[in-house]
Amino acid sequence: MTVLVFIDSDFPAGRIADANQPQLFATDLGATRGDGIFESLLAVENKPKKIQAHLDRLASSATLLELEIPTAEQWRAAIDTALAEFDQPEAVVKLLVTRGVEGAKQATAWVQVSPLPALGKQQRERGLTVILLDRGYDSEVALRAPWLLLGAKTLSYAVNMAALRYAQQHGADDVIFTSADGRVLEGPTSSVLIAKVSEENGSQLKRLITPQLDSGILPGTTQGALFAAAQRAGWQLGYGPLEPKHLYEADAAWLISSVRLLAPINSIDGQQIGEDTQRAELTAELSAILASTE
């Protein structure tokens, strides 16, 4: 079952639409040009998680694409309507905006609520087999070439989907993109995290590191929430630059995202990452920290 709620000025709480009927015009620039933006988030007990972080990132994507999008109030009302209609303990909530029907100069915006895919939980529990794939861009291009829309979460995800298919055909579950200048970037639908654990003056020092955010990657809302909470729990934080060798030398590494949450990486390009027991312990510790966030 999928619930759709369109944002429509005639319906202050959003307009519920039948997902089993066509709802988009064939000339919508979302469908013909991938010209739009989106967010995916988790809802628990009809309450969206990290809603403000997602609305903020949606607004930032909209700025990069020069799209006028609905207000935060309109989104919140439509999300509430959709979640009340769906009414399940857990749900995936997607916010989508396209540039609208060709020539109409009016964005199409809707909320989609659907069940959690079973695969996410499985991958979180058994861990991921990952391969590194070249993203083609160098890590500085985002700053000099805003038209490449790096840092915007656009509907033009064909390359992300192709990278995941390529991984599956090569016996892997997921991908970490690297830049042309050899930096670790992000997954096609996730952020990259590593942990380094060391002893210093007899006490344990735990450090959580993610690639630097100005390298043309999407700022991860779940990475952001975990970082804030982990710091409160005594972890040190670091922001790249990361190279593949840092992944191989890590005590644990994860792909983190809003719906699959913290998924441990068992191996990258066939090389085991960290040690099984420590990886499981660190995953349990950080998952508990993440679960404590809003």
- Rounded-to-integer distance, Cα 154 and Cα 10, Å: 27
Q: What DSSP designation does 17 have?
A: E
Smallest distance from the beta carbon of 81 to a second copy, in angstroms? 15
Sign of CA dihedral 146, 148, 150, 155: positive
254 belongs to the binding site for a second copy (CB under 8 A) = no
Out of 11, 13, 16, 32, point to the residue binding a second copy (CB under 8 A): 32
User: Would you say 31 or 213 has its CB closer to a second copy?
Assistant: 31
Binding mask 154-183 for a second copy (x = CB under 8 A): xxxxxxxxxx-xx-------------x---
Phi, then psi, of 244 in degrees rounded to 5: -50, -35
Sign of CA dihedral 104, 105, 106, 112: positive
24 belongs to the binding site for a second copy (CB under 8 A) = yes
Residue 130 CB contacts under 8 Å (≥ 6 apart), including other chains? 167, 172, 173, 174, 175, 176, 187, 255, 265, 267, 268, 269
36 belongs to the binding site for a second copy (CB under 8 A) = yes
CB 256 within 8 A of CB 123: no
Interface region with a second copy, contact rule CB under 8 A, candidates 80-88, 128-136, 194-202, 237-245: 128-136
User: Would you say 67 or 225 has its CB closer to a second copy?
Assistant: 67
Please give the residue ranges that form the binding site for a second copy (CB under 8 A). Answer: 2, 4, 17, 19, 21-36, 38, 64-66, 94, 96, 98-99, 110, 112, 114, 133-138, 141, 144-149, 152, 154-163, 165-166, 180
